[in-house]
Chain A
Amino acid sequence: MRNIAALAFAMLVLTAEAVPIAADEMSNLKDPKIIAAGHAVFLEKQCAHCHGEDGTGGVNLARRVLDAKGVFISIADGREKNGIRMPAWREVLTDQEIWQATAYVLSISKTR
């Protein structure tokens, strides 16, 4: 029994680490004010370096199909895929700033 409890606890921890955000933390990702704040973060933190000022840069976001949680996690924890790498921003940006940037990215991408 104790083993099952320990396993359940471990799974909770693992789940918590894998998805450390709640879906309702930033509910209105289509709010123009939040999108505008996200664009400011996007520029200030030089996301435009690789993605371009309007998202159509070297790593083009405008052509991608993206979802909110995936974008948030990519910004927070970084991304390594197809040989290229994006740094992690958790603890550099607040969760609110990451949600704002997420809102901007979704506004320029193809959403599901």
Chain B
Amino acid sequence: MRKSPLATGLLLACLLSSTGLVRAADPGTEDPNNWPQYNRTANAWRYSPLDQINKDNVGKLSVAWIAHGGDITMGLQETPIVIDGVVYSISAGDKVAALDAKTGQTLWIYEPKLDPLNKKVLFSPYSRGVAVGHGMVFIGTVDGRGIAIDQKTGEEKWQVQLTDFANCHGCNFTSPPTVAGDILTFGSTAGELAAQGKIFGVEAATGKKVWEFNTIKQDPKSWPGESGKYGGGGAWMPGTYDPETQTVFYGTGNPGKDFVPSEREGDNLYTDSVVALDPKTGNLKWYRQEVPKDTWDYDAPYEVLLFKKDGKDLVVHMNKSGYVYVLDKNTGNIENIWPISDVKNFVKEINRKTGELIERVELPMNKETLICPSTFGGRSWNSGAYNPKTGLWYNDVLDFCGYLKPVSQKVDPKDFGTGHTGSNDFGRLVMAPDGRKPGKLSANDPITGERKWSVDMDVPGFACVLTTGGGLVFNGDPMGKLQAYDADTGKVLWSFNTGSGMRGGIVSYSVDGEQYILVASGWGSYAALLMPALLPQLEKVPAASTLIAFKVSK
């Protein structure tokens, strides 16, 4: 018997109201039971609409299962992907595993044989995730390859060498590709490398490379003389694919040498920019450079969020400087610019309408200059999360500074372990001059920047934030403290010691009617190497590579 459209609609409405699910049309609520891509949805909000775990019962959250990834080198930096009851995970050495999302039991493992050169390069052996689509799991490897694995069996389907790994100062992939329809886009590392960073377009079905976009513009005004030869840039975090306009958005890396702009006397396009690309061709639709002729390592690889507000299609993007750029999604025109913190001195201000950097602080050679925020930024690369129910965007703000000292440096692309930075170090970290705590969890309106609440932290967060339909914000710190906050007020509702610090992503999914919170625990990355100079307690944090799943026991 065929049901009438009205009856079907009523049935659907009843179903939705009885299960507490939200309407499928609401942005950020698509595919509610899964975490199918790096920032969950195409708008990159990192919002799970699931509400079974909520303010009333989060205190009863307990461990459902634990899984170990193996190699702990540089920690566990991934955001796991969860689709239809299966977790897809990647740990050090680009080791990929599929796990049963109810039990944590391993279903299959894939481990590529890596080029031994990866032992010498700056950015290895970590990865920030996998991508899933077309029945395959896709990874970008630390030796510059794209690899496709059968989603069900773990068998390799194809692989393609994309970067010239041995001849580009070890430029490689530390993040997953972005699935943009039939095309995968891979963004390479390059900001601290004597190389030109690229974004590659690859056929998802076959692995055939179809285009590459050079983040170093071939333009003598932008890069006089030979200055662009090792200009850096790249795009070392995942892009955002917008199916509505068939556009892939990437934030790009910094120019090199990082701290010596006098050796590159142009605006250094397309570094420190948001670029909007046609994934079919790699053609540039528009760009917005946030920091022309960067001097302070304020690159722009962070997540690109999409919003619709008052009839406008908008992009929201945080630069490492801590300034947030609100742009027209179709043109890149500036709608607003606001700072996530007032711990900033590299400029007096940034013009909210034009983007002009007002009263830049330049760095004299061979002399230390105090710059705020530090080279870790006003926030690190770990994504924030936006909750449409509260209208708030939650971010781990870093409120500390660093002394930068540019020095002359020979360029040798075969010197794989030395950063193309024009410095001996990456900034001597110090607390903010006013003595405030080194960071906070901050809840802001993403368009205006208005702060509703914040919670100061003795050790600031370096993990991606999660917010849910249950009115919660989950955040993990480097000491191992995982906490659930009231999304409206910032009140701590639950806390758990994961045994190691968090640097990856926290996600939520549902299997057989039960909601889970899944946490990547394993302190690592350059933050683990450098931050103990500022916060000595971090020296003692145990390393790990652990996935911990939580649920409310029945």
Contacts and interface: CB of A to CB of B under 8 A. Distances in A.
Interface of A: 43-46, 48-50, 52-53, 56-60, 77-78, 80, 82-85, 87-89, 92
B119 A78 contact: yes
A83 B74 CA distance: 5
Contacts of B74: 83-85
A46 B419 contact: yes
Contacts of B523: 83
A44 B424 contact: yes
A71 to B, nearest CB: 16
Interface of B: 72-75, 119-122, 124-125, 407, 409-410, 414-419, 421, 423-426, 428, 522-524, 528-533, 539, 542-544
Candidate in A46, A89, A92 with the most chain B CB atoms within 10 angstroms? A46
Nearest to A63: B539
A46 B75 contact: no
A92 B417 contact: yes
B545 to A, nearest CB: 8
Interface SS majority for chain B: loop
Contact of B121 (A45, A46, A84, A87): A87
A50 B542 CA distance: 18
A77 B124 CA distance: 15
A97 to B, nearest CB: 11
Nearest to B522: A83
Contacts of A50: 529-530
Contacts of B122: 87
Contacts of B532: 58-60
Nearest to A90: B120
Contacts of A58: 529-533
A60 B532 CA distance: 9
29 contacts: A44-B424, A45-B415, A45-B417, A46-B417, A46-B418, A48-B424, A49-B426, A50-B529, A52-B425, A53-B428, A57-B425, A60-B539, A77-B119, A78-B119, A82-B542, A83-B523, A83-B528, A83-B544, A84-B524, A85-B73, A87-B119, A87-B416, A87-B417, A88-B119, A88-B120, A88-B417, A89-B120, A92-B415, A92-B416
A43 B424 contact: yes
B73 A80 contact: yes
Nearest to B409: A44
Contacts of A46: 417-419, 421, 423-426
B503 to A, nearest CB: 10
A3 B315 CA distance: 70
B407 to A, nearest CB: 8
Contacts of A56: 533
B530 A57 contact: yes
A50 B429 CA distance: 11
Given A58-B529, A58-B532, A60-B539, A83 B72 contact: yes
Nearest to B414: A92
Contacts of B75: 83
Closest 6 CB pairs of A and B: A83-B543, A87-B417, A48-B425, A58-B530, A58-B533, A43-B424
Contacts of B409: 44
Nearest to B527: A58
A92 B413 CA distance: 10
B123 to A, nearest CB: 10
Given A58-B531, A58-B532, A59-B532, A85 B424 contact: no
A74 to B, nearest CB: 13
B448 to A, nearest CB: 37
A111 to B, nearest CB: 21
Contacts of B543: 82-84
Contact of B125 (A43, A53, A85): A85
A45 B75 CA distance: 24
B415 to A, nearest CB: 6
B95 to A, nearest CB: 14
Given A46-B421, A46-B423, 12 more contacts: A44-B418, A45-B417, A46-B418, A48-B425, A49-B425, A60-B539, A78-B119, A83-B523, A83-B524, A84-B524, A89-B417, A92-B416
B73 A83 contact: yes
